[in-house]
Copies of this chain bind each other. A is one copy, B any other.
Amino acid sequence: MRVLAQDVPKHLDREITVSGWVHRTRELGQVNFVLLRDRSGMIQVVFGEKIDYTPETVLTVRGMVKANDKAPGGAEIHPLSVTVESRADINLPVQVNQDPDKYPLEALFDHRFISLRMPKLRAIFQLQSSLLKYLSEFMHAEGFFEMKTSKLVGSGAEGGTGLFSVEYFENKVFLAQSPQLYKQGMVATGLERVFEISHAYRAEKHDTPRHINEYVSFDVEMAFIESEVDLMNFERNLLDHVFTQVGLHNRAELELWGATVPAPGAMISAPVVGHDAAKDLITQITGKKVFEINPEGERTLCEWALEKHGVDLVFINDWPRKKRPFYTHPSADGTKTLSFDLIFRGLEITSGGRRIHDYAMLLESLPKFGMTLEGLGAYPTIFQYGCPPHGGFAIGIERLTQKILGLANVKEASPFPRDRKRVAP
């Protein structure tokens, strides 16, 4: 029975078996050390004889556990037998036991199967796994139905630009930018509360630290809401749950990045600022007149929120109609919308709002956006046959990961990122 590295100190003076990767060797002649790495951590193995294990070689070691204050975890293994499961080539394209900062990002992406072995990079995806877990468990507990909708669509929810095309037998279809159409449709089927965690695609030529062409979208949609306030309150509780659980269960990963999550409850006091008030606030703080809320403005708002409300998250609502998609529900006077963004540590991680559910209102809205009913496929039928008031939002999983850990580039939060030029590995 294999013992994980983290549990070895519990087996003092007993014979156990461990398996893992040779993270580092230290050869002093008479006594030689192997630092063995597994999914739980590291354990030192001490050899009295000469060793010849290349870094990253996979070993299974049977041996006695002995206390040693100088060893990581306070224990080490004195081997009785060693099996080489898989010998690593000596010419590693990146040194796994070095700091990833020593390599350019592109080199880490080029040799992704090796660079992801670096504990600091692996930690990104251990944390991301927790995000997927805690987001999903909260939604199920709140009675939402998890769905998986098609990613092969006839047109884009946002109007047809920025789509990748797919040769589908005799047809040409597109990769979905979001499950917007489907999540609204599924709410109207009577499921009422749905969520999906799936890939989404944007064929945008951006090359910025905040853009990625294939990403994972956490999408929520719920019926019988009044306004975006219901959605913001829901997201407060959702993210409070996620931050709290991550704070409890992902301490090792946070530590590797010198990162913290907002304290339990902090999310609840995130301020809400109207779009125009937010612009005024940025102007007031920076002394510069702003015409739209750009990345610099988003950073300013989060700094302000941290100082005034103790949390670096800000909701921005009351967006002007022309800045939101056609399906966004207008405010009573028709100039604003019942929509919001959530800015976390200077980056938009969520966009959402109440949707138009009234067929007549949809018909009236389309020409304002230069759109036609015909261009929307089956979408309008959702509203023709009885659709409740509803709304929702989406969180970009890579952006959430990025901002929790403080990664410089969102691509670092994708195990195999896709950008304008990168399609492998």
A residues in contact (CB < 8 Å) with B: 2, 19-22, 37-39, 54, 56-58, 60, 85-89, 92-93, 111-114, 116-117, 119, 122, 125-126, 128-129, 132-133, 136-137, 140, 143, 145-154, 164-169, 171, 173, 175, 181-182, 185-186, 188-193, 197-199, 203, 205, 214, 216, 223-224, 357-359, 377-378, 381-389, 397, 414-418, 420-421, 423-425
A56→B173 CA distance, assembly (Å) = 31
A129 and B145 contacting across the interface, CB-CB below 8 Å:
yes
B358 and A86 contacting across the interface, CB-CB below 8 Å:
yes
Our pick among B126, B140, B357 for the contact of A133 (Cβ within 8 Å) is: B140
A89 and B384 contacting across the interface, CB-CB below 8 Å:
yes
A386 and B22 contacting across the interface, CB-CB below 8 Å:
yes
Our pick among B86, B116, B386 for the contact of A57 (Cβ within 8 Å) is: B386
CB distance from A215 to the nearest CB of B (A): 9
A190→B119 CA distance, assembly (Å) = 9
Which residues of chain B come closer than 8 Å to A21, judged between CB atoms? 190, 386
Which residues of chain B come closer than 8 Å to A152, judged between CB atoms? 214, 418, 423
Which residues of chain B come closer than 8 Å to A122, judged between CB atoms? 189-191
A150→B126 CA distance, assembly (Å) = 17
A124→B11 CA distance, assembly (Å) = 49
Which residues of chain B come closer than 8 Å to A116, judged between CB atoms? 185-186, 189
A357 and B86 contacting across the interface, CB-CB below 8 Å:
yes
A203→B22 CA distance, assembly (Å) = 42
CB distance from A225 to the nearest CB of B (A): 11
Which residues of chain B come closer than 8 Å to A87, judged between CB atoms? 386
| Given A125-B191, A150-B214, 18 more pairs with CB closer than 8 A | A39-B193, A60-B224, A85-B389, A89-B385, A113-B188, A113-B381, A113-B382, A114-B385, A117-B189, A119-B190, A132-B148, A133-B136, A147-B415, A150-B416, A151-B151, A151-B199, A166-B175, A181-B425
B56 and A169 contacting across the interface, CB-CB below 8 Å:
no
A165 and B164 contacting across the interface, CB-CB below 8 Å:
no
Q: A175-B166, A199-B198, A423-B173 are in contact. Are A416 and B149 (CB under 8 A)?
A: yes
Our pick among B22, B164, B224, B420 for the contact of A19 (Cβ within 8 Å) is: B224
A87→B383 CA distance, assembly (Å) = 9
Which residues of chain B come closer than 8 Å to A168, judged between CB atoms? 164, 203, 418, 423
A112→B381 CA distance, assembly (Å) = 10
Q: A377-B425, A378-B112 are in contact. Are A148 and B191 (CB under 8 A)?
A: no
A215→B208 CA distance, assembly (Å) = 32
B383 and A424 contacting across the interface, CB-CB below 8 Å:
no
A-B pairs, top 10 by smallest CB distance, nearest first, are A378-B425, A88-B386, A56-B386, A116-B189, A129-B145, A39-B192, A150-B416, A129-B146, A88-B385, A132-B146
A328→B247 CA distance, assembly (Å) = 40
Which residues of chain B come closer than 8 Å to A167, judged between CB atoms? 164-166
A388 and B164 contacting across the interface, CB-CB below 8 Å:
no
B388 and A148 contacting across the interface, CB-CB below 8 Å:
no
Which residues of chain B come closer than 8 Å to A414, judged between CB atoms? 150
CB distance from A55 to the nearest CB of B (A): 8
What are 8 residue pairs bridging A and B, where the CB atoms are less than 8 Å apart in the complex? A85-B388, A112-B185, A113-B185, A119-B190, A126-B145, A148-B216, A169-B421, A182-B416
A185→B415 CA distance, assembly (Å) = 10
